[in-house]
A = this chain, B = another copy of it.
């Protein structure tokens, strides 16, 4: 592992200064090469699918794993899209001249070697590799075991394009030891790895956060709230509460707990009950909620639970302050929304809810690199530092100060 990572670190110097044109051109070659080899990819993917069937993977998981002609073409399309993103390296973020006459420029630069740990979907392999390549970073990929044949063939094809362009193949690598032990080693290699991005289950992310000596930008859970304030527009509020919960239930930006101001509860809760019934949503409510509509009683634990399913906790609150306090205590700092016509309440909610994305009069489902207009998404960070919320390709860079002098010495 150490020798392998030394090579990765070394090749990061090579890629960090590649010309934008050359990077885009190589990415275009990669996209073509992936398309041209779709048969081999699908063949290898079939091995994963067959193993998955043997191991009784759920239909949903098998579907996420599956690659067909169309999905391979989409993979290639995604690489082309990344190739065409604005160059993330070399952006002048700030610049000024200091009294001593030195000219200082703060410039975006690649981070170096990035370890990415993820599961299931094989297209993450090509997406991530392309994002790291475009931003001048070396990536060390650790995909799920269930997708190992698919990931291996995709990485191999991308490496063949690197080799054809006389670049070190370590620029895009799969982790040499694709086991728990491999991950345990990787996250201790702070001499060679600059950043770890884990995407996956809570247990995996907790393990990595607790044990990594490499900085971690985690993509953790989303326990998102919508608060219907007493001045909310009723029809808007219903539309948003339904959309945030039901449009897709298994995603991190979906609604898990609905907070309702007591003064609007009597009017809106029965209407919401009707709509959620149409969506077959299972409702759990606090004691007060039960005085307005007939629902199962929610436990304390329920308000700490990310269901990722068609289930919703409902709580009636006495005030905006109670809503904010509830969110800051029970939430995961991901995405939370207030529905209100009251200016001061909107401002207060935006300021005091300590989450990556705070909304007024909108569904939480917009927390997403695509919806944010980033062109491509690295993921949604639940870190507070370096990157928070939807991460675009620019978040795969750091900065350095370039300082231009003319014989300057310090007095």
Indicate how many identical chains form the complex: 2
**Cβ–Cβ contact A190 & B209, under 8 A:** yes
How far is the CB of A212 from the nearest CB of chain B, in Å? 9
**Cβ–Cβ contact A13 & B360, under 8 A:** no
With A112-B384, A361-B407 known as contacts, the answer to whether A350 contacts B233 (CB < 8 A) is no
> Which residues of B have CB within 8 Å of A215?
215-216, 383-385
**Cβ–Cβ contact B213 & A361, under 8 A:** no
Q: Which residue of B lies closest to A360 (CB)?
A: B404
Q: Is A210's CB within 8 Å of the partner chain B?
A: yes
**CB within 8 Å of B: which of A265-310?**
none
Contact with B along A315-358 (1 / 0, CB 8 A): 00000000000001000000000000000000000111011111
In the complex, what distance in Å separates the CA atom of A403 from the CA atom of B336?
10
How far is the CB of A38 from the nearest CB of chain B, in Å? 30
**CB within 8 Å of B: which of A64-95?**
none
With A373-B98, A403-B359 known as contacts, the answer to whether A239 contacts B384 (CB < 8 A) is no
> Which residues of B have CB within 8 Å of A399?
388
Instruction: Pick from A99, A358, A390 the residue with the most CB of B within 10 Å.
Output: A358
Q: Is A259's CB within 8 Å of the partner chain B?
A: no
Identify A407's interface contact among B236, B242, B244, CB under 8 A.
B236
Q: Is A30's CB within 8 Å of the partner chain B?
A: no
Contact with B along A42-84 (1 / 0, CB 8 A): 0000000000000000000000000000000000000000000
**CB within 8 Å of B: which of A353-393?**
354-363, 365-366, 371-373, 383-386, 388-390
> Which residues of B have CB within 8 Å of A96?
373
Contact with B along A201-216 (1 / 0, CB 8 A): 0000000011001011
How many A residues have CB within 8 A of the partner chain?
68
Q: Please report A residues at the B interface, Cβ cutoff 8 Å.
A: 13, 16-17, 96, 98-100, 102, 104, 109, 111-112, 190, 194-195, 209-210, 213, 215-217, 233, 236, 239-240, 242-244, 247, 328, 350-352, 354-363, 365-366, 371-373, 383-386, 388-390, 398-410
> Which residues of B have CB within 8 Å of A373?
96, 98-99
Q: Which residue of B lies closest to A90 (CB)?
A: B351
With A360-B404, A384-B398, A385-B111 known as contacts, the answer to whether A100 contacts B366 (CB < 8 A) is yes
> Which residues of B have CB within 8 Å of A365?
409-410
Identify A400's interface contact among B217, B388, B406, CB under 8 A.
B388
**Cβ–Cβ contact A357 & B403, under 8 A:** yes
